Amino acid sequence: MTEEDHIEEMMARVRKLELKARRLVRESFSGEYLSSFRGQGLDFDDFREYQHGDEVRFIDWNVTARMNQPYVRKFREERELSVIMVVDVSGSADFGSSHLSKRELSAEIAAVLGFSALQNGDKVGLLIFAGEPVMFIPPAKGTRHLLRMIREILMAKPEKPGTSIEEACNFLVKSLKRKSLIFMISDFHADSLDKPLGKLARKHETVALRVNDPLEESLPKAGRVVLVDPETGFETMVNTSNSNLRMGYRKLMKRQAEGVASVFKKHGIDSANLLTDRDALPALHQLLKRRGRRRK
């Protein structure tokens, strides 16, 4: 396949994703998104006379002195959000044993959330990362802007195929001056999670969407196979017919998943687990409903 053919294939995927994402947003996501995420601050609106029960800290003493009676400052909620999709495009993101690879599922999730944000009047930006930040697209509005983001997720070719959550978090903390809503989409197979995610969550509202493939959770019984780490190139032969090996692998991956979940819980990061062999919408719905109930 030539480079031009590859680009055309990617663009066809982007257009297909656009149609699917728009339909999903129209049918089910816009209301839940609106109730789950709000603006990040308050803007000054006007002055009004003090009323019993008003907070004393909102009294404007200069206006009070001019009017010879107490006046307070009124505020309105800042509705517009700055939404950043943070997408893992490391070597492991291209793995998929079913219909979609983890990268393709990540692009689909970003499309659905991105169109939900745009419909709500929010700005959307993108950070693609692997072993280091690969590309940052500042938040903006518009369909063409979002489609460019989806295209970059699908086509990115990182020079360092490893996964560094720490590098991504450090970049965001340093680069984003305004408090933002962060959707981090990754398998979170990385060594350093606790401190970087804690630092990010203290500064920005952070949601973790963990994307995995079922074969990463449990090895099939397939005899002797060669396993290759897509991020390091390390190869090893294992006998998957060995029930003890399969059991040990399941336990190892379960402990790893529990460790990641404990980091999210420690830092108050809402999360959802998504798999490449099933529809991601139910898990996203559940996440948004939980957030909506808490806000009410």
Q: State the pLDDT at residue 68.
A: 87
Q: State the pLDDT at residue 257.
A: 94
Provide the CATH number for the domain formed by 3-38+82-295 in this structure.
3.40.50.410
For 8-62, what is each residue's pLDDT tens digit?
776 777 787 788 777 777 766 656 665 676 554 445 567 878 877 677 777 888 8
Q: State the pLDDT at residue 296.
A: 57
Low-confidence ranges of the chain (pLDDT < 50): 40-42
CB 205 within 8 A of CB 84: no
| Start and end residues for every CATH 3.40.50.410 domain found in the chain | 3-38+82-295
Residue with tokens 């970049």: 171
Q: State the pLDDT at residue 44.
A: 56
The pTM for the full model equals 0.82
Q: With H, G, I as helix, E, B as strand and everything else as coil, classify residue 61.
A: helix
Q: State the pLDDT at residue 233.
A: 84
Q: State the pLDDT at residue 182.
A: 96
Q: With H, G, I as helix, E, B as strand and everything else as coil, classify residue 74.
A: strand
Q: With H, G, I as helix, E, B as strand and everything else as coil, classify residue 37.
A: coil
Q: State the pLDDT at residue 75.
A: 59
Q: Which of 287, 265, 291, 128 is nearest to 194 (CA)?
A: 265
